[in-house]
Chains A and B, each alone.
Chain A
Amino acid sequence: MRKYIVLFLVFLLPVVGGGLGRAAAPTLARTHYVVRLADQIRLEAGDSTVERTLESDAFRAQAGKPKELYAEAAAVEKQFALGGVILGVYCGLVFAFAILGLNRTRRREIYEINYDACLACTRCFSACPREKARLAELTEGPASEEAA
């Protein structure tokens, strides 16, 4: 039963992720300066009491055309609509693989390094008694019983 629930989640998560990504796309699009500027110009055009910004003043000073700006912003929003879905599906897959990983247990006879978490800092070498013995043998020669 648990296996089926996990499998269901694995297939469901990318779908849910895609939906959430599509819903978040307009918010994500506002990280783009063109979309932010278009929103500001639209606001200022609709309400004269809205405080102007440096960006909107610069846009007017350069004789920018609002229609062209709106078209450019719409193109960016379109990119984000697709990108948001892809990001959502990708995130869903990431979570799905994480859940699959939680349900998988590897049999280990000895202590092993988890390579995706290991940062190769070499701390474990200095703690290992076998490693210390090996290094001592390398530097000081073979073990005492052999020498005897």
Chain B
Amino acid sequence: MKFLRRSRPWVVLVLLLGVAAWARAVPLPDFDPRYKMPTFQKPPAGPAWVEFLDVGLLVVALSASAWIALRLRSRTWMTVLSVACLAYFGFYRTGCVCPIGATQNVTRGIFDGTYYVPVTVIAIWVLPLIFCLLAGRVFCGGVCWLGALQDLVLIKPVKVPTWLQRGLRVLPFVYLGLAVLLAATGAMFIVCRFDPFVSFFRLAGPFVMFVAGGAVLVLSTFVGRPYCRFLCPYGAILSLLARVSWKGVTITPDECVVCRLCEDACPFGAIEPANVEKEDEE
């Protein structure tokens, strides 16, 4: 049982890299020079109820994540929820629409009056922010499928030095600013174009994206959620809102015994040790 638990991240990593290799192994079609391109046809839009189902499931998942984090306080159930969200929002719905990319849709909608942003996209963007204001970053913890994928392959977490971590935390804000500028001007949706995991979810994409996604996954085996912590532009917004959230996770509702076990357990360097006694000693 212990062996199975320990080998789980390796199995997931090997499976994902295998999928990437398989997707690249499928040969591209060899067109005859006399081949006539068919006339362009716009595919019919999917049924609207599916989008509303996505919004409904997102609300359910966010509520469940908040309940697990604040009331149930169970890592096991949080993992179960993460895997379920990864399976549905990630692999079944191919990672789109996601709140991270929806930031650009909303920006484009604000700056370009002719750009239509469906109400479901706005809801998918706003809901995790509302939940963050109420209960902290429960979207990242139990719902985000990009985070779940990185969490599943985390084998041996290494502590990132504090100075480096603090420096790298600036990057998501810079990336957010760049994404907003490029979306506002209609240049491109950079977050979607360089989403490291979307090629895994869709089992298709440029070779470079598979390599980039694979590299982030390999990095995730020893650095906890590198994309979420050091690049995710939506995470930048959530980190600001989490500071003023109404309720947030607490290490223990009882008295802390300053045993530092939680600090060792956190792979994201989010636990700050007591420093008063140290200062008094000095």
Closest CB-CB distance, B10 to chain A, in whole Å? Answer: 19
CB–CB A87/B177 < 8 A: yes
Q: Within 8 Å CB of B273, what residues of A?
A: 108, 111
CB–CB A117/B75 < 8 A: no
CB–CB A127/B262 < 8 A: yes
Q: Does A128 contact B (CB under 8 A)?
A: yes
- Chain B residues in contact with chain A, CB under 8 A? 65, 68-69, 73-75, 78, 135-138, 140-142, 147, 151, 165-167, 169-170, 173-174, 177-178, 181-182, 184-188, 190, 225, 228-229, 239-240, 242-243, 245, 248-276, 279
Q: What are the interface flags for A105-128 relative to B under an 8 Å C-beta threshold, 1 for contact and 0 otherwise?
A: 111111111111111111111111
Q: What are the interface flags for A70-89 relative to B under an 8 Å C-beta threshold, 1 for contact and 0 otherwise?
A: 00000010011001101100
Closest CB-CB distance, B145 to chain A, in whole Å? Answer: 14
Contact residue among A87, A119, A128 (Cβ-Cβ distance under 8 Å from B225)? A119
Q: Within 8 Å CB of A107, what residues of B?
A: 275-276, 279
Q: Which residue of A lies closest to B147 (CB)?
A: A119
CB–CB A117/B270 < 8 A: yes
Bound Cα distance A123, B279 (Å): 28
Q: Which residue of B lies closest to A134 (CB)?
A: B254
Bound Cα distance A130, B73 (Å): 13
Q: Within 8 Å CB of A84, what residues of B?
A: 181
Bound Cα distance A128, B66 (Å): 19
CB–CB B182/A31 < 8 A: yes
Q: Does A46 contact B (CB under 8 A)?
A: no
CB–CB A120/B274 < 8 A: no
Starting from the known contacts A111-B260, A128-B259, 5 additional A-B residue pairs (CB-CB under 8 Å) come to A108-B272, A114-B269, A114-B271, A117-B269, A130-B252
Q: What are 11 A-B contacts defined by CB distance under 8 Å? A: A32-B186, A32-B187, A108-B274, A116-B240, A118-B137, A118-B249, A119-B229, A122-B73, A123-B265, A124-B265, A125-B251
Contact residue among B166, B174, B182 (Cβ-Cβ distance under 8 Å from A91)? B174
Contact residue among B173, B185, B251 (Cβ-Cβ distance under 8 Å from A124)? B251
CB–CB A109/B276 < 8 A: yes
CB–CB B177/A91 < 8 A: yes
Q: How many residues of A contact B (CB 8 A)?
A: 49
CB–CB A111/B272 < 8 A: yes
CB–CB A118/B177 < 8 A: no
Bound Cα distance A6, B82 (Å): 42
Knowing A28-B181, A112-B272, A122-B68 are in contact, say whether A131-B240 is a contact too (CB < 8 A): no
CB–CB A128/B252 < 8 A: yes
Q: Does A136 contact B (CB under 8 A)?
A: no
Q: Which residue of B lies closest to A132 (CB)?
A: B252
CB–CB A124/B271 < 8 A: yes
Knowing A110-B274, A131-B252 are in contact, say whether A120-B259 is a contact too (CB < 8 A): no
Knowing A90-B177, A118-B249, A121-B78 are in contact, say whether A98-B169 is a contact too (CB < 8 A): yes
CB–CB B251/A123 < 8 A: no
Bound Cα distance A124, B270 (Å): 10
Q: Does A23 contact B (CB under 8 A)?
A: no
CB–CB B73/A131 < 8 A: yes
Q: Within 8 Å CB of A125, what residues of B?
A: 73-75, 251-252
Knowing A118-B136, A120-B136, A129-B261 are in contact, say whether A98-B166 is a contact too (CB < 8 A): yes
Bound Cα distance A86, B253 (Å): 44
Knowing A113-B248, A126-B75 are in contact, say whether A119-B140 is a contact too (CB < 8 A): yes
Q: Which residue of B lies closest to A98 (CB)?
A: B170
